[in-house]
Every structure is written in structure tokens, then in C-alpha cells.
Amino acid sequence: MFFPFRQRDLQRGDFTMGGEMRDTGIEILGKILWGTHFCLFHKNKEELSEILVPYFKAGLENNEYCMWITSEILPKKEAEALLNKAIPHFENYLKNHQMEIIPYTEWYLLAKEFNSQRVINGWLKKLEDALHQGYEGVRITGSLIWLEKRIWKNFVNYETEINAIIPSLKMIVICSYSLEKCGAFEIIDITHNHKFVLIHREGAWEIVNNMDHLRAEEKLRKAIEELKELDRLKDAFYADISHEYRTPLTAIKGFTELLLQYNNLNKNQEADLEAILRNEARLERLVDDILAYSRLKSGRIPFNREIFRASDVFNELKKELAPLLEAKQLNIETEFSPDDELIFDRFQISKLIRNFFSNAIKFSFSGGKILIKSTIKDGVWTFSMRDFGVGIAAVDLPKLFSRFVKLEASIEMNSDGIGIGLAICKSIIDVYEGKIWVDSDGPNKGSTFIFQLEIK
């Protein structure tokens, strides 16, 4: 089944739920996650309003867009009167269109027919519009007392589709059913398609959990535990491999340096031994980078918080890389915000900028320049580094931050990089939930590497 808004929206971070808890306003429930789809069985309108009035009050007060699809058990005018009595300044929510109360004939049964695809697309369009208007998400209830047996199967299939897509969206949905109109088979269908059920018994509300959902959650919990154990084993494996590689590398380096001390070596022999040392150093960097990447991806590296200035970090790196700058006779131009104090892990940020800087030097043409810009605006730190060197082909841009990717320009220049540096940069940015990208006009037109981080 194709949902016009679904595919696009799931690719946008602001549309998906992100694991955030929301206050239901319902005492027995408290807070639940975005993406929760549950139902309630009621005998009369008093039971229905007892749940829905505080439910919508909490949604409106927490900047959510709210929709109540009503039926004859609690018509639109009565629903509006109940909310107006319970919620201060309720008329403003209606006036600002943060709250909609719609009869079921104008939502579920347009043209007197139930079309599941139209209804689903309608929900998703409401969500899209609400988020664009600055609301946190959408809170919905639909009264389903109007359901007839002739469309029951169609509606159950609709609920199944809704149940599949809602968990990933910023929506909370209550479906309300009349207990008196549901037989045993209908109750089984309903409970199967909802995470849990609210039912009023002996003067109090109770939660009846869907066993299928409970089993799925238990499987998910076990899967998460297994993944954590796999991460731990993977880290241990990489650490062991790192140790095993370093032992012979240390021996190779030591013996090669000893051989270089002999006075009777000819120039070819010296060149060969120096090549061994260069390759040994490259292998050590490879081991370090793979280990660092693994730890970053598994979240095993603790990120410290310390106050520092971006300009200080860059000036330290400029001194460190001075020999490379002088060798290529590169001119450096910088622009830093005057008040550029940051609170991040200085070591990781330094690693990030060093990678940008060393790449800019490596791929710049001799005698050229590199432009560095660091600005802070509206709580967002933007850092960019532009070179005027070999550039990047458009076809290579999407894969630039992947592991072990060596671009054509890098191969042509005999770069000794292993293609993991930018993947490490992206992993650092991912820890801070920031953005990282590169702009290039193509080969021989230079590149600009940029990252953004929120200052929290």
C-alpha cells in the first residue's frame, strides 16, 4: 500500500517520533510514547468524556494539534461544550485551528462510503500541516459507534495499516468503541490491532494489554540486549586485533630503525628501509582509526564537556600542520566569531577539524589558499573549510562519508589515506546529532566541508 506522505516524511527527522514521551492527561496512563495507538470501550457518553476531555486538555496545553471525530453518542456541539467547560480559553484553540471537532460523516464517510486510503492520507496530511505550523505532533480520537457489519472487515484492515505506520510518527490515537455494539469476535479484532485497551469496570478504568504487543516488546528488549552484547564483543575483538597487530609492527619498526643506523647502507637500501617505516606508520594509523571508528559507532567512547574556543583549537592544529602548509606554500584565511566559546569534547572536535584541515592541505594546489569560517548564530555553531584544489565529482559526493572510500582524486595523488577519516568525522557529528556535508563544483574547482552542531 502506498502512502503519499509516508515515504517522504520518514526521511525527515522532524516527522518521526524520536522516542519522546507525551502526557496523556489520563490518570491511569500518565505518559506514553509518540506513536501509541490504543482504544477504549465505553458504555455511555459519560465514560467517553471522562477519558477524552483530559486527553485533549493535555494535548492542547502541550502544543499539540488535536482532532476529535465525533458520532451521535457525543455530537460535535456537546463535545465542544464539554471542552469549553474544562479548558481555560478553549475558544482560542478553536479560533487558532489547534483543535478540530468533526462529525464522522465529514471524515470517515465522505460521500457515504468508507475509503481507508483516503482516511489514512488525511491523517498523514494533518500531521504534515501541523508540524509545518510548529505543533509538536497530532493527538486524535475517532468515535466508531457508526460502524456497520458490512464494512467491518474493511475497517479492520484499515486499523491494521494504521497500526503499522503510526509507531514511527508523532501521533497519538485513541479509537473509541461502544461495548454494547461489539460482540466477542469484534472485540478480538479490535484488541489485536491496538497496543492496549482501556475499559471501565466496577467504577474504575483498567488497562488490558495486548499480549501480541507484550510479546513483541519482550522480543525487542531481548534483541536490544543481544545487540549490546554483540557491541561489547565487537569492541573486545577490535581491541584484541589491535594488540595483535601492534606487537609485530613494533618489532618491524624497531629492527628497521636499527638497520638505518648502519653506516655502510647505500641509497637504495636506505630508501627501502624508509619505505618500510612509512608503511608501518600507515598500518598503525589504520589500526588506530578502525578502533576509534568502532568505539564511536558503538557509543563506547565517553564524550566530555568542556569550555573552549574554536579559534584556539584551530591555531593549535595550524602549528602542528605547519610543515605541510609550508611545503605547499598555502595561504590560510580565517573568520571566527568574536565570542566563539563552545561546550563540547575538545579532543573529538579537534580530531574532526584536523581531518578537515589535513584533507584541505592534501588536495589543495600548491600556492593556493584555504578559507576557514566559524560562526555561531541562534544557538547553532557552523564550521566550514574551503579549499581551491582538486575538487570532488558530483557522483562521489553521496558516498564521501562512508567507510574505506577512496575517491579518484585521492588515488591519482597517491594519497596514503585509508578512507576512514571522514567516516570518523560523521560518527563524531552523529553523537551530537548534528549535520555534516560537503559542497563542490566539480573536479579542479575545490571543495567546502561543513558541519553544524547545536550549542546546548
pLDDT in tens, the chain (456 residues): 323 333 333 333 334 444 589 999 999 999 999 999 999 989 899 999 999 999 999 999 999 999 999 999 999 999 999 999 999 999 999 999 999 999 999 999 987 889 999 999 999 999 999 999 999 999 999 999 898 888 888 998 998 888 888 888 999 999 999 888 887 778 878 888 888 888 888 788 888 776 555 555 556 566 656 666 666 666 666 566 665 666 777 778 787 888 888 778 888 888 888 888 877 776 776 666 666 666 666 555 667 788 899 999 999 999 989 988 999 999 999 999 877 788 888 888 998 999 899 889 988 999 999 999 999 988 899 999 999 998 887 777 777 777 555 555 444 444 455 567 788 888 888 888 899 998 887 788 889 999 999 886
Residues forming a β-bridge with 42: 178
Tell me if 152 sits within 8 A of 117, measured CB to CB.
no
For the chain, residues classed under CATH 1.10.287.130 are 211-301
Any idea of the CA torsion for 95, 100, 104, 110, to the nearest 10 degrees? 80
Tell me if 383 sits within 8 A of 438, measured CB to CB.
no
Cell of 431: 553523537
Q: At what angle do helices 76-86 and 45-61 cross, to 10 degrees?
A: 60
Backbone torsions φ then ψ of 405, nearest 5 degrees = -100, 120
Q: What CA–CA distances, in Å, run from 130 to 123, 136, 303?
A: 11, 8, 35
For the chain, residues classed under CATH 3.40.50.300 are 6-209
Q: What is the reported pLDDT for 272?
A: 84
How far, in whole angstroms, is CA 414 from its chain's centroid?
Answer: 36
- Dist CA 401 CA 436 (whole Å): 9
Q: What is the reported pLDDT for 5?
A: 35
Cell of 60: 492542547
Strands 331-336 and 171-178 turn out to be unpaired
- Dist CA 49 CA 70 (whole Å): 11
Domain 304-456 has CATH 3.30.200.20: no
- Dist CA 266 CA 23 (whole Å): 78
Q: Which CATH architecture has domain 211-301?
A: Orthogonal Bundle (1.10)
Strands 380-387 and 31-33 turn out to be unpaired
- Dist CA 117 CA 211 (whole Å): 28
* Closest-CA residue to 79 (of 165, 176, 1, 156): 176
For the chain, residues classed under CATH 3.30.565.10 are 304-456
Q: What is the reported pLDDT for 9?
A: 37
Place of cell 496545553: 61
DSSP class of 108: T
Say if pTM beats, i.e. exceeds, 0.85. no
The count of C-alpha atoms lying within 13 angstroms of the C-alpha of 222, restricted to the half-sphere facing its C-beta, is 6
Q: Which CATH architecture has domain 6-209?
A: 3-Layer(aba) Sandwich (3.40)
Strands 306-309 and 341-344 turn out to be antiparallel
The most distant pair of C-alpha atoms in the chain lies apart, rounded to whole Å, by 103
User: Per-residue b/e over 235-257, b at no fewer than 16 CB within 10 Å?
Assistant: beebeeebeebeeebeeebeebe
Cell of 14: 522532524
Tell me if 48 sits within 8 A of 184, measured CB to CB.
no
- Dist CA 119 CA 51 (whole Å): 24
Q: What is the reported pLDDT for 69?
A: 95
- Dist CA 98 CA 83 (whole Å): 13
